Amino acid sequence: MASLSTSLPGRNEPCWCGSSLKYKHCHSDIDTARGASRIVAAKRVYLRGWEQNSRNLEQQGVYEWMAERLEPYKPKRVLDVGTGDGQGVAALWRRFQCKLLISLDENRECLIASEQRLKKNGVPSSVIQRLDVEMESDESYFLSIIAGRLPQGDGVFLIESDILADPELENFLSSIPPFDAITIWLIGTHLMRNNCLNLTSLKIKDTVEYRLRVQNKVYEMADRILRPGGVLQVVDRGEEPNDEILRKDTIDAHKSQAAPTSLQFKSLEYMRYSEIEKGKRVNMVLSPGESGRIPKAPQFAILSVISTKQI
Ligand SMILES: [Zn+2]
C-alpha cells in the first residue's frame, strides 16, 4: 500500500502497484479503507473483476466445456476448490446433479455472490462462514477458524476456507466417504492475500507461485480423499499446446506436481478462447509449463489436465 503521505494516483490513472489496471479498478478501494474493511474491500475488488472474466468465459462456453471433460466419470460427490462467482459450481450442478458438491473459497464476498447466482439458477446452496479476520496492522492480518462449522449430509455447500491453512476442514474431508472428483479451475486471488500472516511461513512470492502451491496442496489432498479411480481435474489458462514440445511441457509440469502422490496423469485437453481487453478484469496468471519458458504472444487456451487415483 502507498502511504497517505505519498500522492496516490487519480482514479483513471494506472495503479501504483504496477498491475497496469486503472487505479479505480485496482487498489483505490483498499487504500481508502481502514482495519478489517481493507480485506473486505480487496475481496470485493477481486469479485468485481472476476465477474468480468467469468462472463467472458461463460459466453465462450468455457464452463460447460470444463464440466464436460468429467462426463466419462459422472461424479456424484465433488469437491471444487476456488468458488469464484459460482459459474463453475453452476456448470457442475447442471451436468451432474451431484449428491454432494462442496466448493471452497477463502473469499467470503465470492461465496455470498455465488449463493445468489446459484439461487437464480434454481440450485439451493448454503454458505458456511467460518473464518474471522483479525487485523495485526493495516498491512497484515490473521485468519482464525471458527471451530465446528462444517456441513452435514448431502447438498451444495459453499464453505469459507483457506485451503493452505485449514487442518479442521482437511480432517473433515478425510472423515466423510471419499469423493468421485475434485476440480480446481482457474485459481486466482485478491490483492491482500499475500498479507495474510497464516501464509507467511510459506514464503509465497507471487501469484504464479500461489497458484502452484494451492494446486500442489490439492494434489496431496486428492491422494487422501478421492476414491480409488477418482479424478482430479486441474484447469489453467495457458499457451495453446498445439505442438509436441508445448504439450510435453504442460504434461511434465503436472506430472511433477503429481509425483509425491499416487495420482497418475491421464489426459490433457484444451480449448481456444479469446481474452477480454484489460479493464476491470482480473489479470489471469499464465501457466509457465515445466521449463519455465515465457510464452511469446501466445494464442490463449484453457487447459484441462485430468489425473486419476490408482485403483
Ligand atoms: Zn493496484
Q: What is the CATH number of the domain that holds 54?
A: 3.40.50.150
**51 CA distance to ligand 1 middle (Å):** 18
Compute, in angstroms, the gap from residue 27 CA to the centroid of ligand 1: 4
Reduced to 3 DSSP states, what percent helix, strand and coil does the chain have, rounded to the nearest 5?
35, 25, 40
Q: Is residue 162 part of a domain?
A: yes
Per-run averaged pLDDT (10 residues), the chain, 311 residues: 67 93 94 95 96 95 98 98 98 97 98 97 96 94 96 97 96 98 96 93 90 95 97 93 90 94 97 81 72 72 96 86
Alpha carbon of 138 to ligand 1 centroid (Å): 16
Non-local CB neighbours of 289 within 8 Å, separated by 6+ positions? 238, 239, 246, 249, 250, 252, 253
- Cα–ligand 1 centroid distance for 208 (angstroms): 17
Tell me the CA–centroid distance for residue 177 and ligand 1, in Å: 43
Q: How far apart are CA 61 and CA 107, in angstroms?
A: 25
SS (H, E, C) 114-156: HHHHHHHCCCCCEEECCEEEEECCCCCEEEEECCCCCCCCCEE
19 CA to centre of ligand 1 in angstroms: 6
Instruction: Give me ligand 1 centre to Cα 29, in Å.
Output: 10
Burial class (CB in 10 A: 0-12, 13-18, 19+), 103: buried
Task: Provide the residue type at 137 as one letter.
Answer: S
Q: How remote is the CA of residue 99 from the centroid of ligand 1, in Å?
A: 40
Domain membership flag for residue 135:
yes
- Residue 202, sorted as left (phi over 0), alpha (psi -120 to 50) or beta, turns out to be alpha
Q: 133 C-alpha to center of ligand 1: Å? A: 22
9 part of a folded domain: no
**What is the span of the domain harbouring residue 129?**
23-309
In contact, 148 and 118? CB cutoff 8 Å: no
* CA of residue 179 to ligand 1 center, whole Å: 38
Retrieve residue 50's grid coordinates. 472476476
Query: What is the bridge-based pairing of β-strands 131-135 and 141-145?
Result: antiparallel
First vs last Cα of the chain: how many Å apart?
A: 50
Q: Is 304 exposed, middle or buried (0-12, 13-18, 19+ CB in 10 A)?
A: buried
Type of residue numbered 135: M
Q: How far is the CA of 21 from the centre of ligand 1 (A)?
A: 7
- Read off the C-alpha cell for 147: 471451530
Does residue 186 belong to any structural domain of this protein?
yes
- In this structure, is residue 8 part of a structural domain? no
Res 280: pLDDT: 66
d(CA 228, CA 115): 31
The verdict on residue 1 lying in a domain is no
Domain assignment of residue 10, yes or no: no
Calculate the CA 18 to chain-centre distance. 22
Q: What is the pLDDT of residue 295?
A: 64
- Which among 2, 37, 1, 27 has a CA at the least distance from the CA of 135? 37
Q: Is residue 180 a part of any domain in this protein?
A: yes
Name 231's bridge partners.
181, 308
The pLDDT of residue 296 is 65
pLDDT of residue 2: 47
Cα 107 to middle of ligand 1, angstroms = 18
How many structural domains is the chain composed of? 1
